Structure 1
Amino acid sequence: MTMPTRASRAHSFNAAAAAYAANRPSYPPALLDAVEDIAGRPLAGARVVDVGAGTGIATALLHARGARVVAVEPGDGMTEQFRRTLPGVPVVRGDGNHLPLADASADFVTYAQAWHWTDPDRSAPEAMRVLRPGGALALWWNVSDHGVPWIAAQDDRIRRFFGNDSAHGAHGTADRVRMTQGGPEFVRRGVPWTREVPLDTHLANLASHSGFLVAGEEATRAFVDEERTALTEVFPTGVVQEAYTVDLCVAVR
């Protein structure tokens, strides 16, 4: 399979924003507890900049926690979906490499499933610029628990489909938190959680990842059909228990 470009993968979400919003997993309440614990300050009442906000999955949780959130999102389709989902939360166009915000204007800068689309040599200094002294940069990703046999087997099938280790959207931890020399030091914490969803939701979530979005409709449909057969044997009731560990990294300015 021809490797898609990074740019094509980054922009692929805009055409699939509704499916992304409907099927992607959210995050457990314990995640925001951990953010507050490491940062040493509450989210309630804090000025939070949620970068690469997408359809607003993480933004909604931050808003419900009592944070005063401003979302930053570069994509047309994702921004349109965000505004339908969270009409009362401001969203501005921009990306982590060029934050359209004033110096020292935020208590938190957050990235949910988004830091890997930035250039850390630019996005790290930008986050530090926007944060107030004592503010915190928080990055997190839902990572499937490969200690669960069916998840490990699925990952093997995905790797065979793409013919490499990373095309379907996996990112090594070292790449996730790579910073400029002398940049902030991160505290890392894992937050395990699970969700139970219909098989159709699980498969739609899988197909909403950038590697599949750019692989082509025919190839993706063929893979999803085979995956449906394989998982029906594991989950005959049609309900899939997905297991994740949220990989959380927090740095305080």
Structure 2
Amino acid sequence: MTAPSHTARAHSFNAAAAQYAANRPSYPPALFDAVEDLAGRPLTGSRVVDVGAGTGIATALLHARGADVLAVEPGDGMATQFRRTHPDIPIVRGNGNTLPLADDSADFLTYAQAWHWTDPNLAIPEAVRVLRPGGALALWWNTDALDVPWLAEAAERIGRHFEVNIHEEKRNVNARAVDPADRLDFTRREVRWSRRIPVDTHIANIASHSTFLVGDEEESAAFLAEERAHLMRAFPDGIVEEVYDVILLLATA
């Protein structure tokens, strides 16, 4: 069977936007502290463009931090969900490869769980164009804390199902931000946090990832049902603590 294309995976979220908004994890305040520390400037009062904003999980937190935020989102379903949830935050349609923004117009460009959907050969020059001198490009991903035994075991099961090495993918996150023309030099920071949620929320979170959204529905449903049964045996009270390492990569223009 041919693997789903990168484009198909990128567009898969539009049909699952409500599920994404309801079940995906947020981000801790310490992440935004780290963004400010590495950038050497506050988010409060800064012009921030959140690219690939999705349903607005990160955008809303940036707004609450006091930033003047504009969301950029390419997907119909995600943008509709964003407007429904965050009617007071402006959003425009576009993507990181061709930003619908003027030169030198942003203090921060942020990509929460979104940079890997861009082409760095296009997105990095666009970031350099749009950022004001001294502005920052901040990329981050929630990644499972694989030193937590139950999460490591779950990652192994998912890895076997999709024939991927999730441990190796986490180690190689830095490669996602390599600038082919050496215009930007990224610094890495990790922030650990956790959330306690019902098993069913955890399963719905997993199911909202593109690898499941584009997969065979029956196979995905069977795997997720088996995973739920496994977790209910391990956590009979029906509550799990998801532990995340947010990997932050930041470069200043």
* Residue 143 of structure 2 is aligned to residue 164 of structure 1: no
Tell me, yes or no, if the aligned pair for 1:143 and 1:244 is still in contact at 8 Å. Answer: yes
Residue in 2 that maps onto 1:230 = 230
User: Secondary structure, in 3 states, of the residue corresponding to 2:222?
Assistant: helix
Consecutive unaligned residues of structure 2, counting only runs of 5 or more, are: none
Aligned length: 251
Greater displacement, 177-186 / 95-104:
177-186
How much has 1:26 moved relative to structure 2? 0.4
Corresponding residue for 1:203? 203
In structure 1, what is the equivalent of residue 150 of structure 2? 150
Task: Return the alpha-carbon distance in structure 2 between the equivalents of residues 35 and 206 of structure 1.
Answer: 27
Pair 1:129–1:181, CA change in 2 (3 A):
same
Counterpart for residue 22 of structure 1 = 22
Asked if structure 2 preserves the Cα contact closer than 8 Å seen for 1:116 and 1:175, the reply is no
Give, in angstroms, the shift of residue 165 of structure 1: 3.3
Note the 1:43-122 alignment, pairs <5 A.
43-122=43-122
Q: Secondary structure at the match of 1:196?
A: strand
| TM-score calculated relative to the size of structure 1 | 0.96
Query: Partner letter of residue 77 of structure 1?
Result: G
Give 1:237's aligned amino acid.
D
Please name the residue that 1:35 is paired with: 35
Shift of 1:182: 1.9
SS at match of 1:33: helix
Distance 2:51 2:129 in 1: 14
Which letter maps to 1:177? A
Say if 2:174 and 2:249, in contact at 8 Å, map to a contact too: no
Moved over 3 A (4+): none
Determine helix, strand or coil for the equivalent of 1:8.
helix
Mapped partners of 1:92, 1:126: distance in 2? 16
Structure 1: gaps spanning 5 or more residues: none
Instruction: Give 1:217's aligned residue.
Output: 217
1:125-140, aligned counterparts within 5 Å? 125-140=125-140
Deviates more, 1:94-103 or 1:145-154: 145-154
- Could you give the per-residue CA deviations for residues 207-248 of structure 1, whole angstroms, max 9, x where no partner exists? 000000001221111011000111112211101100100000
Cα pair 1:69 1:89 within 8 Å, conserved: yes
**1:187 corresponding residue in structure 2:** 187
Cα offset for 1:164?
3.0
Shift of 1:55: 0.2
- The Cα offsets for residues 123-148 of structure 1, whole Å up to 9 and x where unpaired, read as 01101110000111100000101111
Deviation at 1:170, TM superposition (A): 6.5
Residues 14 and 171 of structure 1, relative CA distance in 2, 3 Å threshold: farther
TM score, norm. by length of structure 2: 0.96
Distance (whole Å) between structure 2 residues aligned to residue 160 and residue 36 of structure 1: 38
- Once the two structures are overlaid, the 10-residue window that deviates more, 157-166 or 201-210, is 157-166
Quote the RMSD (CA, aligned, Å): 1.3
- Look up the equivalent residue of 2:119 and give its one-letter code: D
What amino acid is aligned across from residue 18 of structure 1 in structure 2? A
Match of 2:111, as an amino acid?
A: Y
Separation in 2 of the partners of 1:17 and 1:144?
Answer: 22
Deviation at 1:176, TM superposition (A): 1.6
Q: How has the CA–CA distance of structure 1 residues 16 and 170 changed in structure 2, closer, same or farther, with 3 Å as cutoff?
A: farther
Separation of aligned partners in 2, 1:147 and 1:156: 12
Measure, in 2, the Cα distance between the counterparts of 1:15 and 1:9: 11
Q: Is the 8 A contact 1:116 1:171 kept in 2?
A: no
